[in-house]
Each structure stands twice: as C-alpha cells, then as structure tokens.
Amino acid sequence: FFHFYAGICSALKLTVPSHTIHGIAGQPLHLTVDYNFSAAASEIQIIWLFERPQSNPKYLLGSVNQTVVPDLEYQHKFTLIPPNASLMINPLHINDEGNYIVKVNVRGNGTIAASQKIQVAVDVPVTKPTVHTEPSSGVVEYVGNITLKCTVGKGTRVVYQWMKNGKLLHDSPNYTFS
C-alpha cells in the first residue's frame, strides 16, 4: 500500500512511492519511479542526482532513450535500466543518506520536464546487546545496589527497554534508569 505523490509539468506525470524511504546498510535499495505523458516523444531523458545538506547535487547517472551514461565514480553502485526511471542502489552505505533527485525530460513538439525528490534514510541494524553488572559478581544480599549497563556496538535509532519476567520496568523506589 503506497501513497503516490505526483509532480506535474504540462502533460508529464512523475510519481514516487514516498518522499522518504528507509533502507538498510549493506542491502540493496530500489527507488521506484513511474512516469507517463500524453504527447508523442522522440527522446526521453532520465537524470539522477544526489545531494547532502549544505552541498551541491552530484550527478549519478542519466540516460537518453536506451543509452545510460553513468558517472564513472559511481558506475558500479547505481543501476538504471531505461525506459524505466527507477534507481537501484547496491549496496546501500551510511554515506548514501540524503536526497535523490530524479528528472525526466520528454522531447516531442517541445520539451516537457518533471522532477521529484526522495529523501533516503539509512538504518544500521542493531547488534546484539551486552549487559555488564557492577559489582561484577552480580550478587547483592539484602542491602546494597547493583548496576546493570546495556550497550550495543552498532545501530541507528536504538531504544533501550528493561524488562523483568516479561514485563516492562518503570522508575520506582527500587529501579532507577539513566
């Protein structure tokens, strides 16, 4: 189930599934783009650009009809198979987070153009957590405190929850969280 957003210039309609897409680092990510137009076309040009905040857009690749012209620096990472305007990023890296801009130009009697921007957020899978106890023996009889520290080596948007016997623990006189 997708919501489609359209950028319409004259008779050219360009759609993307969402303006924000989450991908997983190390996995491929497919940016799906559809376009249609009502005029007769002699040439169809597709251009993909990438921009990070406070930087100029970089050319990734483009095509005219069936001929793809990649930026040589990125030719092994990005794939476009015209006339499809969708972009394949493989593999996705944390540095690939940013805005991807697709522009389609159609030449017939005149030239019509449309563009869309897709923000890509890259998620790093959370590694298995480790728990350390202080004191390290983990034994506290009758009086005294024990501190449990949970850490993860890697991961984006990490949320910690402490549970006892399958039930979520909350702040109380017995438990303090930081």
Instruction: Break the chain into its structural domains and give their ranges.
Output: 12-123, 130-168
3-class secondary structure per residue, 70-120: ECCCCCCCEECCCCCCCEEECCCCHHHCEEEEEEEEEECCCEEEEEEEEEE
pLDDT of residue 15: 94
pLDDT band, very low/low/confident/very high, at 143 (cuts 50, 70, 90): low
pLDDT of residue 110: 87
pLDDT of residue 89: 97
Q: CATH fold of 12-123, please?
A: Immunoglobulin-like (2.60.40)
Q: What integer is the mean pLDDT of 126-153?
A: 81
Neighbouring residues of 166: CB distance < 8 A, sequence distance ≥ 6: none
pLDDT of residue 145: 82
Q: Containing H/E element for 164?
A: strand 163-164
